[in-house]
Amino acid sequence: MTILEELKQGKILLSDGALGTLLQTKGLQPGECPELWNITHRKDLTEIAEAYLNAGSEIITTNSFGGSRLKLSQYGLGDRVSELNQIAASICRDVAGKLKHVAGSVGPTGKMLIMGDVTEEEFYDGFREQVIALEKGGADIIIVETMSALDEASLAVKAARENTKCTVIITMTFSKDLKEEYFTMMGVSPAEMVSSMKEAGAHIVGSNCGNGIEDMTGM
C-alpha cells in the first residue's frame, strides 16, 4: 500500500527525525561528506535506521540530503551519485522491510539560477540522476526537503515525478519577517509555495516554519 493510500484511509504515519545530528554524535566531522558514510560507516547508518524503526517510525529517511551531483562535486564525488544514493536507500530498505516506507531525501544544491551559476537543465539532470538511484535502491517516496527557491524546488519535484514511480513530498523552509509573516529566504510565501509545487506535480506539500513542520497538503 502506498503512503497516499494509507493517508486517504485516515492513517497517521510517524516519520523519523534528525539524521545529521545523529551522524555527528557517531563521529561525523565538520567538512566531511555525510553521504560517503553510506559506504564507510554503513553499520552506523543501519543502527540509526533501526533505532527510529524501533521507536515507532513508519517512514525512514535516507542519508542522501546532499546527494545530488552539484552538491557531491564539492567533495570530489560527483561521479559517485548513483552509487551513494542507491546504497543510501538500500540501507533503509533493508531495515524497513516491505511494510514500512523509505523516503529518499533530496536537499538543496546550494546553487541558484538567479546567480547564473547553474542552468535549469543542470538542476533537472542532477535531480533526475539522484532520484532514479534512490528508487533503484528501494525508496518508495522522494522527499524534496527544506527548499527556499521555487525554481529549484519545482525542477526537483518534476524530476521525481517524471522519472520515478515514487510518491513525491516537498517541504520548504520559512521564517518570520518583521511583520510576523512567513517567507523563505528567497521571498517565497507559503501560498506561493503550495500553488507552485502542486503545479510541478508534488503529491504532498508541507512547510517547515520556525521549529516545527506545519500542515501537509496531499493531492
Q: What is the pLDDT along the chain (219 residues), one digit of tens a residue?
A: 899 999 999 999 999 999 999 999 999 999 999 999 999 999 999 999 999 999 999 999 999 999 999 999 999 999 999 999 999 999 999 999 999 999 999 999 999 998 898 999 999 999 999 999 999 999 999 999 999 999 999 999 999 999 999 999 999 999 988 888 899 989 999 999 999 999 999 999 987 765 444 444 554
Helix axes 81-96 and 42-55, enclosed angle (nearest 10)? 40
Q: Which residues are paired to 103 by β-bridges?
A: 61, 141
Q: How far, in Å, CA of 132 to CA of 10, rounded?
A: 29
Q: What is the pLDDT of residue 114?
A: 87
**Structural domain spans, the chain:** 3-218
Q: SS3 string of 34-85?
A: HHHHHHHCHHHHHHHHHHHHHHCCCEEECCCCCCCHHHHHHHCCHHHHHHHH
Q: How far, in Å, CA of 168 to CA of 165, rounded?
A: 9
Q: What is the pLDDT of residue 211?
A: 45
Q: How far, in Å, CA of 142 to CA of 165, rounded?
A: 9
pTM: 0.93
Q: What is the pLDDT of residue 51?
A: 98
CATH of domain 3-218: 3.20.20.330
Q: What is the pLDDT of residue 209?
A: 67
- Fill in the amino acid letter for 142: I
